[in-house]
Each structure stands twice: as structure tokens, then as C-alpha cells.
């Protein structure tokens, strides 16, 4: 496969840990210029130590995509540092797992919509501004299985993920003729801190141990294990590559076969 991204600029939100960090590492190894953002300055500093503090192809920006001015700053720094935006990975702002509908107040609903759905939209609008000038670009939305499989314990996340899938299709249709490809990846059970929180809720609700909750969950995964952030990152890098030049509007499931419906 052609996975050389020399002179390509990749922006990764939520890039300081988990899937985002693994993705940054793969793009850097493929010669890309990479900008990662995150809300925590400490997490970004730790990411720099992992990715290489002397790497001139890496730039970090502290940014909360819930705020338009911070998103503007992210892209201004990207343009001032590397001069372009070729690939955007929308990966920030996982929504909470656990509360039932009568336990979620309106403020929490609005926060979830603002941080993930509107956060993705803010970043996408800024990236498209630059991609239109060059008549090319890739936008890859990291979504999640909650968009396909409703769950009473994932009421803020599920509808937002469904909305992002709709957004992905609509943007792919609108911008395809202008060389901008828009796709989605929905990770399933990946070995990150986010999934640990889900297992804790499952154990609490079923009154079983954490290990029992994990065993029960994995019994429904054909591969009988959790995925690694690097495995999701490999799919992301593929979609951003020239080998995926005829793929747009599509969603790739990286879930070990857990989601079984068509």
C-alpha cells in the first residue's frame, strides 16, 4: 500500500492519548506533518515524550473543540506552522456512559451535543475552507458503535453518533466532486480508559465483578479480545491514503465482529 504522507498535513483532535495518539504515531512514521490537540496540557506533554520531543513534523495545541475560538486558534496555528490542512481526524470528546434518561438533565444533553457533534462540525468547517482551495482533502470522523446499536445507558452518545454518521454521508455527497472525501470509523471494544468506564457500569448494574463483566462482554465478540488503538489507527491511515481514493461516505467498523446486523 502507498502509505507515504510526505508533505501532507494531518490534524488530529483528541490526539494526546488512546486512538488519537496511536494515529499520530502512525502518520509520523509515514512522514506526515502532524498537529495533535487535546484539552489537557499534561497529556499533550506526555504525548510529545512518546512521539518524540525533537520531531520537527509534530506540533501540539491545547484546544477544547467545544469553543469556536479555540478551534479557530488550532487551525490558525496549523496554517502558520505547516501551511496547509490535508487530513482532518475528528476524534475528540467521547460522551458519557451510564445515566438513564431521567438521570440526564438538559445541561448534560447540551454539553454532549456541543462537545462532540458541534465540535466535529466546527473543525470540519475550518478544514474544508482550506481543502476547497486545493480541491482535495480527507475528513475521517471517529464515531462509535452507539450510532448503530441503541443502549439505554448510552443515551447522549448514541443519538450524537447517529447524527455524525448522517453528517458524514451528507458531506461526502456534497464535496465529492471537489476532491474532498469524507468517511467514518466506528471502533468497537478498544482497550482504552473509555471502555473501562463502560465495564464498571456493567458490573455495577449486574452486581458482578469487573472481571465477570469483562468476560460477559467479550463472549459477544467473535475475536474474544479487545482491539488495540493501533488497529483502529491502521484503518484511519488507510482511509487517508491514496489507496482509499475511491472510498467516500462509507463507515468502517473496527469492532472484532461484535456488531452483527447488516
Going from the N-terminus, what domains does the chain have, and what CATH number goes with each?
Answer: 9-191+229-254 (3.40.50.720), 193-226 (no CATH)
Strand order in the sheet with 137-142: 58-62, 33-38, 9-13, 87-90, 137-142, 180-187, 251-254
Question: Which of 20-29, 93-102, 112-121, 138-147 shows the lowest per-residue confidence on average (mean pLDDT)?
Answer: 93-102
Interaxial angle between packed helices 18-29 and 41-51, expressed in degrees from 0 to 180 and rounded to the nearest 10? 30
User: Is 93's pLDDT higher than 70?
Assistant: no
CA distances from 234 to 56, 144, 189, 193, 202 (A): 23, 16, 16, 20, 29
Q: What is the pLDDT of residue 240?
A: 98
| Count of residues making up the chain | 262
Q: What is the pLDDT of residue 70?
A: 98
pTM here is 0.95
**Quick check: 59 and 78 in contact, CB under 8 A?**
yes
Sorted by sequence, the CB contacts under 8 Å of residue 171 that are 6+ apart come out as 124, 139, 180, 182
Amino acid at each position: 500500500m502507498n502509505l507515504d504522507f510526505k508533505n501532507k498535513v494531518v490534524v488530529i483532535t483528541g490526539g494526546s492519548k488512546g486512538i488519537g495518539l496511536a494515529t499520530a504515531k502512525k502518520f509520523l512514521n509515514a512522514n506526515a506533518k502532524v498537529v495533535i490537540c487535546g484539552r489537557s496540557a499534561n497529556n499533550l506533554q506526555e504525548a510529545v515524550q512518546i512521539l518524540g520531543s525533537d520531531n520537527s513534523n509534530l506540533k501540539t495545541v491545547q484546544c477544547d473543540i467545544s469553543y469556536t475560538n479555540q478551534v479557530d486558534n488550532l487551525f490558525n496555528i496549523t496554517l502558520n506552522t505547516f501551511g496547509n490542512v490535508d487530513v482532518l481526524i475528528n476524534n475528540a470528546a467521547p460522551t458519557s456512559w451510564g445515566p438513564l434518561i431521567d438521570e440526564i438533565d438538559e445541561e448534560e444533553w447540551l454539553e454532549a451535543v456541543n462537545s462532540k457533534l458541534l465540535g466535529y462540525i466546527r473543525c470540519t468547517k475550518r478544514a474544508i475552507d482550506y481543502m476547497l482551495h486545493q480541491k482535495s482533502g480527507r475528513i475521517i470522523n471517529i464515531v462509535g458503535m452507539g450510532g448503530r446499536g441503541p443502549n439505554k445507558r448510552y443515551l447522549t452518545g448514541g443519538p450524537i453518533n447517529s447524527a455524525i454518521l448522517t453528517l458524514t454521508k451528507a458531506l461526502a455527497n456534497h464535496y465529492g466532486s471537489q476532491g474532498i472525501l469524507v468517511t467514518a470509523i466506528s471502533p468497537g471494544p478498544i482497550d482504552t480508559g473509555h471502555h473501562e468506564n463502560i465495564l464498571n457500569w456493567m458490573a455495577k448494574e449486574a452486581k458482578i465483578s469487573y472481571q465477570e463483566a469483562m468476560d460477559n462482554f467479550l463472549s459477544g465478540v467473535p475475536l474474544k479480545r479487545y482491539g488495540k488503538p493501533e488497529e483502529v489507527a491502521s484503518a484511519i491511515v488507510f482511509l487517508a491514503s491514496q489507496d482509499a481514493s475511491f472510498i467516500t461516505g462509507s463507515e468502517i467498523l473496527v469492532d472484532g465482529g461484535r456488531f452483527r446486523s447488516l
